[in-house]
A and B are shown apart, each in its own frame.
Chain A
């Protein structure tokens, strides 16, 4: 039974997608119900995968394998360890909540959900694939629907001096991501050839003991290729533009999950290119630190609410990258926790920004004020997300960032100090933002806004629950992740002991 769980995680969205495909266009209610039902099943399956893993911590319990293309010995090989199990849970949560949030959409809802589910299939696939080919297959698949999702259902934004149309955001995102995947193509093709194992499986590539010179040559391709998706400075500009142009639920998936694919990709390439990773990690550490500080400063300068959150994502992804760059257990574990924490938190942020925009039709920080009065629940949830973002103890962000800073201090204290400064800047802009738009006197035109509705409340509360749960009981998550991270780092270190 257990070996079918992971294929099932892919099959359930596929069935949902096919079901929607055959429902006539104007049955909006049926389409919504089926998608919600399907995403709920996916959510439960994801939760099951994570909890079952947390119980046994046996990385082989869900293994599934079948031959896909004999010629190239490509295998459809699924499996999870602690890291990917946590990511699967993240996808499950964001998928379900994003679906609920999307029920507000009125225009072309059938097509929206088809593309949205396609995106979800892609991200699920990346996290459960144990085969480099399929990892990349699903990675590219997740990029495909983004263009239409943003260009059709997104919002253009207008500023005093310039405009950003949704088509611009969509095109930029798509072209940058596909351009970065050229680097990954090169990396994968040459790694396969050099490893000479006639297999794309991660474990075979790890066993191949690829030569050091080649590793050092090829690792930057993976680092930059995946790094672009993780919002690595200076290739991050597609990300705020894309987030802002995207409709709410797509922003949630995009910032919440899609950017994690990049970090996860770097993590996986450390496994089979240890020497390359060791050689290049200084670069990732520096760029990651720049991400944190630069992202936070840019967020502080924004006037558009969604751009603030967009840049805060860039800043927070910087912590993830810094954690990865430490290559010690505590730093990498913190980075994985941060991926989860930031995924949930930013999804909540974008959900609430969607709620606010829906009612006020404005994302301008200057014009919004006192919103806590008409929108008490939404405001409270926003404050929770904000406090997570600045790393308040008791909420999920604290544990993750603490781990990362400890890890970075062990390798490079200077960068750690810069990172902490970045965290301080985060506190400044988040508190200022909250004070500006939620507190103070409420202006007349906002005074009678309706508060959050049922379909917005349920997903927001689910997200907030996980933030608090992880903040209060971090040990549950840490235990699940720690062992896999230890294994990864030990395998990484053993390369140098032997060599």
Chain B
């Protein structure tokens, strides 16, 4: 505690972002601004400033997000007695969260203008949730992680309910807050179980991830109490990333929430869950626990298959994307079951690629919805004729998520599956490959709708410059990383090494 002021400098990004969030909410409540651009651009300026600060001026020893770091020379920085851990993993994820936040805010501008009444709260809460995610990615201890998780979740509960069409939003926001609250309670209970078990074994700092690691190495098979706590924890985290069988909220909430928030749930919020899962599981898997591998593998199979098979039957594009997102978490879980440095690298790469293509998909759908108010997949018919740019963008994103080459989805899946095969998980990979094929089928149905079928109205759909900017930038991410992924591999490598090897 003596160097609290020292430690404070390490929290500058979070402090800036939380302050920014309150300022934006304040402006929204206490002033009457009629220009739709002021609040989002104020938010984005703040976020860009923070991103630049993290990238270039954030001095935490020799860890740097853009540089190659030899792990032997890397020293991780623990602050506040080890509650938070600043390493290249948390830095990378903080950076990604801010970027995703910027994109989501940019995509929201028109939507908020048309469909949301509380601008200030909307943008302010997005920013606050970014702070929550940043804490999650840096947390080194269960309760800190829980605080970050709750900061994120509470922001999202409100964001989901902010649409001005009560018929739709009421159902989804109530569902989300009830289910979310319930799983929160389960997580807390799980943490208490784990805490009890660790205290019984005289382990100091019983909530620290590293203590769980120490505990895990002591046992060949876990005692039931610990297993129970762990199970509850997995439930909570599985809920966050919408892994089956904890996934059923996702399609309903995506359907009722404001569309940009659905996009935010699908990209940033899931990535935060993944970050936390990687942190916790790298410790729990410390000892080789084959029973845990089996549990994760079963979850992976369920998630992939339920997601993909249910997606085929969907008629609304939001639900389709929700299920396709669920299936993607299944691939991530394949990587988790593999549990090697390579698989962690692959998971991070895959999540980044998934986030970029998710941004494109939601960007296009937001544009489309803003101008047509239509929600069915067959309303997309002839999109190529009404706006070819949107159609091409979403096609690229869909093909990338289906794992076809030229796009990041191919190399990230290849990496993920290769890592799994290296650990003798070929059977799991085969199931994942079959699932990719299924997903290709329903993506092709969407693509066919857009290119082959004729549009219902000949009304042209327009895109403004901001939307073009967002889409083109994310497309550059999707295609650029597909053509030459090596450019971000340094950052990802040091992140996965720092979380896996410690």
- A contacts, CB < 8 Å to B: 67-72, 111, 118, 133, 137-138, 140-141, 143-144, 147-148, 151-152, 167, 171, 174-175, 178-179, 182, 185-186, 189-190, 192-193
> Bound complex: CA of A185 vs CA of B411, how far in Å?
12
**B340 on the A face (CB < 8 A):** no
Residue numbers in A under 8 Å from B116 (CB-CB): none
Beyond contacts A141-B404, A171-B444: 18 other A-B pairs, Cβ-Cβ < 8 A, are: A68-B484, A69-B485, A70-B489, A111-B388, A140-B410, A143-B404, A144-B405, A148-B451, A151-B451, A152-B451, A175-B441, A178-B437, A182-B433, A182-B434, A186-B429, A189-B426, A189-B429, A193-B421
Asked whether B43 is an interface residue with its Cβ less than 8 Å from the other chain, the reply is: no
Query: Closest residue to A148 on the B side, CB-wise?
Result: B451
How many cross-chain pairs have Cβ atoms below 8 Å apart between A and B? 81
Task: Judge whether B452 and A140 touch: CB under 8 Å.
Answer: no
- Complex Cα distance, B395 from A377, in Å, reads 42
Q: Is B486 an interface residue (CB 8 A)?
A: yes
CB proximity of A20 to chain B, nearest CB, Å: 13
Q: Contacts A133-B414, A147-B444, A178-B440 hold; do A190 and B451 have CB atoms under 8 A apart?
A: no
Q: 6 tightest A-B contacts by CB?
A: A189-B421, A182-B433, A141-B405, A140-B405, A137-B405, A144-B404
Query: How many Å from the CB of B308 to the closest CB on chain A?
Result: 14
Contact A175–B440 (Cβ < 8 Å): yes
A127–chain B nearest beta-carbon distance, Å: 16
| Bound-complex Cα distance A186 to B345 (A) | 21
Residue with the highest number of chain B CB atoms closer than 10 Å, among A143, A174, A178 = A178
Q: Are B421 and A71 in contact (CB under 8 A)?
A: no
Partner of A71, one of B388, B484, B489: B489
What are 29 of the A-B contact pairs (CB < 8 Å)? A67-B486, A69-B411, A69-B486, A69-B489, A70-B486, A70-B489, A71-B345, A72-B415, A72-B418, A140-B405, A141-B404, A144-B404, A144-B406, A148-B451, A151-B452, A171-B444, A174-B440, A175-B440, A175-B441, A178-B436, A179-B437, A182-B433, A182-B437, A185-B429, A185-B433, A186-B429, A186-B430, A190-B426, A193-B418
Q: Does B115 contact A (CB under 8 A)?
A: no
Query: In the docked arrangement, what's the CA distance between A174 and B421, Å?
Result: 26
The answer to whether A147 touches B430, judged by C-beta atoms less than 8 angstroms apart, is no
In the bound complex, CA of A36 to CA of B26 (Å):
61
A171 to chain B: closest residue by CB: B444
Whether B422 sits at the interface, judged by CB under 8 Å, is yes
Q: Please, how many angstroms separate the alpha-carbon atoms of A101 and B29 in the complex?
A: 65
Closest residue to A68 on the B side, CB-wise? B486
Give Cα A94–Cα B444 distance, bound, in whole angstroms. Answer: 28
What are the residues of chain A within 8 A of B415 when measuring CB–CB? 71-72
B484 touches A147 (CB 8 A): no
CB-CB under 8 A for A175 and B429, given A152-B452, A189-B418, A189-B421: no
B493 within 8 A of A: yes
B342 beta carbon closer than 8 Å to chain A: yes
Of chain A, the residue at the smallest CB distance from B417 is A189
Kindly identify which residue among B388, B399, B417 contacts A185, using a CB–CB cutoff of 8 Å: B417
Cβ contacts B457-501/A at 8 Å (1 or 0 each): 000000000000000000000000000111001000100000000
Cα distance A68–B484 in the bound complex, in angstroms: 7
Residues of B within 8 Å of A68, CB to CB, are 484, 486
Q: Is the CB of A147 within 8 A of B410?
A: no
Q: What residues of chain A lie closer than 8 Å to B421, measured between beta carbons?
A: 189-190, 192-193
Residues of B within 8 A of A148 (CB): 447, 451
Closest B residue, CB atoms, query A141: B405
| A138 CB → nearest B CB, Å | 8
Q: Note all chain A residues with C-beta closer than 8 A to B316.
A: none
Query: Min CB distance, B405 to chain A, in Å?
Result: 5
Residues of B within 8 A of A167 (CB): 448, 452
Contact with A along B387-427 (1 / 0, CB 8 A): 01000000000010000111000110011011001100010
Output the least CB separation between B487 and chain A (Å): 10
Question: Closest Cβ of chain A: how far from B422's Cβ, in Å?
Answer: 5
Task: Report how far A67 CA is from B484 CA in the complex, Å.
Answer: 10
Q: Which residues of A contact B411 (CB under 8 A)?
A: 69
Residues of chain B within 8 A of A138, CB atoms compared: 405
- B417 contact set on A, CB distance < 8 A: 185, 189
B342 CB contacts on chain A under 8 angstroms: 71
Once the chains bind, are A186 and B426 in contact (CB under 8 Å)? Answer: yes
A401 to B437, CA, bound (A): 37
- In the complex, what's the smallest C-beta–C-beta distance from A93 to chain B, in angstroms? 25
Using Cβ atoms and an 8 Å threshold, which residues of chain B touch A71?
Answer: 342, 345, 415, 489, 493
Q: Which residue of B lies closest to A125 (CB)?
A: B405
For A175, the chain B residues whose CB sits under 8 A away are: 437, 440-441, 444
B404: which A residues are within 8 A, CB to CB?
A: 140-141, 143-144
A72→B436 CA distance, assembly (Å): 22
Name the distance in Å between B337's Cβ and chain A's nearest Cβ.
Answer: 16
For residue A196, which residue of chain B has the nearest CB?
B422
Shortest distance from the beta carbon of A446 to any chain B beta carbon, whole Å: 32
Cα separation A147 to B402 with both chains bound (whole Å): 14
B399 cross-chain contacts in A, Cβ below 8 A: 144
Q: Are A137 and B426 in contact (CB under 8 A)?
A: no
Say how far B77's CB is from chain A's closest CB, in angstroms.
Answer: 26
Q: Are B406 and A141 in contact (CB under 8 A)?
A: yes
B430's nearest neighbour on chain A, judged by CB, is A186
Residue of A nearest to B493 (CB): A71
Q: Which B residues touch A137, using CB under 8 A?
A: 405, 410
Contacts of B434 in A (CB 8 A): 182
Q: Which residues of the partner chain B approach A152 to less than 8 Å between Cβ atoms?
A: 451-452
Q: Separation in Å of the A114 CB from the closest CB of chain B?
A: 9
Q: Nearest-CB distance from A414 to chain B (Å)? A: 37
Q: For A189, what are the chain B residues with a Cβ–Cβ distance below 8 Å?
A: 417-418, 421, 426, 429
Asked whether A147 and B406 contact (CB < 8 A) given A70-B489, A71-B345, A186-B430, the answer is no
CA distance A179 to B444 in the complex (A): 14
- A143 CA / B447 CA spacing, docked (Å): 15
**A459, chain B: closest CB distance, angstroms:** 27
Measured CA separation A463–B46 after assembly (Å): 63
Shortest Cβ gap from A366 to chain B (Å): 30
- Report the separation of the CA atoms of residues A137 and B447 in the bound assembly, to the nearest whole angstrom: 22
Provide the bound-state CA to CA distance between A152 and B453, in Å. Answer: 9
Bound CA–CA A179/B437 (angstroms): 6
Residues of B within 8 A of A144 (CB): 399, 404-406
The closest CB in chain B to the CB of A137 belongs to B405
Residue with the greatest number of chain A CB neighbours at <10 A, chosen from B404, B415, B437, B444: B444
Closest to B492 in A: A71
Q: How far is the CA of A36 from the CA of B222 in the complex (A)?
A: 68
Alpha-carbon separation in the docked complex, A118 to B483 (Å): 14
Q: Chain A residues near B486: list those with CB within 8 A.
A: 67-70
Chain B hits for A141, CB < 8 A: 404-406
Contact of B430 among A70, A111, A182, A193 (CB under 8 A): A182
Give CA–CA (A174, B437) in the complex, Å. 10
> Whole-angstrom distance between the alpha carbons of A387 and B299 in the complex?
60
Residues of A within 8 A of B485 (CB): 69
Please indicate the chain A residues that have their CB under 8 angstroms from the CB of B426 in the complex.
186, 189-190
Q: Which residue from chain B places its CB closest to the CB of A67 in the assembled complex? A: B486
The CA-CA distance from A143 to B406 in the complex, in Å, is 12
- Interface 0/1 of B370-400, CB less than 8 Å to A: 0000000000000000001000000000010
**A420–B375 alpha-carbon span in the complex (Å):** 59
With both beta carbons as reference points, the residue of chain A lying nearest to B496 in the complex is identified as A71
Closest beta carbon of chain A to B220's beta carbon, Å = 27
In the complex, what's the smallest C-beta–C-beta distance from A298 to chain B, in angstroms? 27
Chain B neighbourhood of A69, CB < 8 A: 411, 485-486, 489
Complex alpha-carbon distance, A192 and B420, angstroms: 12
Which residues of the partner chain B approach A111 to less than 8 Å between Cβ atoms? 388
> In the docked arrangement, what's the CA distance between A69 and B451, Å?
34
By beta carbon, the residue of chain A nearest B385 is A108
CA distance A133 to B388 in the complex (A): 32
Q: Which residues from chain B contact A143 at a C-beta distance below 8 Å?
A: 404
Bound CA span A189–B426, Å: 9
Taking the nearest CB of chain B, how far is it from the CB of A12, in angstroms?
17
Q: How far is the CB of A171 from chain B (nearest CB, A)?
A: 6
- Across-interface contacts of A72 in B (CB, < 8 A): 415, 418
